[in-house]
Chains A and B, each alone.
Chain A
């Protein structure tokens, strides 16, 4: 699937082993591990210059799917020649559908008009990805 994107989004769990590894990672990156909620949902750690960081690391995603179940269904692929473990298209579709639903609600319920507009834009972007993923899955089923 061709989709123009720049940032790399990484989803991690918050089990003790990952928390310990992330504390060391944060230190290596010159960040204070104590400043991040590594051991409970809510982490959003960025690497690179804002407002368009190179990497965004999250320990929660829309719809709150089970990390290990998604990991077991993931695919070992390559990204520009670099080996990566990528979430399955089915699981990514479910996350994007959950995200679009949340953005639809925010677009109506948020008090700040700028945030409402941002939610509308995000929902549109997610729906474009949902259409791409649905087409990809339909073509794969046909093949």
Chain B
């Protein structure tokens, strides 16, 4: 993942924004 992608995920976590990873990255997740 890019630093910007990690930053967005961290911000979502800090702000407690409920979300789901979809698309191609969801297919890569282990």
Contacts of B30 in A (CB 8 A): 77-79
* A residues in contact (CB < 8 Å) with B: 1-13, 17-18, 21-22, 24-25, 28-29, 47-48, 54-55, 57-58, 61, 67, 70-71, 74-75, 77-80, 82, 84-87, 89, 92, 95, 129, 132-133, 136
In the complex the two chains form, what is the Cα distance from A23 to B8 in whole Å?
14
Given known A-B contacts A9-B23, A82-B6, A25 and B1 have beta carbons under 8 A apart: no
Contacts of A79 in B (CB 8 A): 1, 21, 25, 28-30
Contacts of A18 in B (CB 8 A): 17-18
* B residues in contact (CB < 8 Å) with A: 1-2, 4-6, 8-9, 11-12, 15-30
Contact between chains at A54 and B4 (CB < 8 Å):
yes
**18 new A-B contacts at CB < 8 Å, known A10-B20, A11-B19, A12-B18:** A1-B27, A5-B28, A8-B25, A17-B16, A18-B17, A18-B18, A21-B16, A22-B17, A25-B12, A25-B15, A25-B17, A29-B11, A71-B18, A77-B30, A86-B21, A87-B20, A92-B23, A129-B27
Contact between chains at B20 and A3 (CB < 8 Å):
no
In the complex the two chains form, what is the Cα distance from A102 to B15 in whole Å?
34
Q: How far is the CB of B15 from chain A (nearest CB, A)?
A: 4
Contacts of A78 in B (CB 8 A): 29-30
In the complex the two chains form, what is the Cα distance from A36 to B5 in whole Å?
20
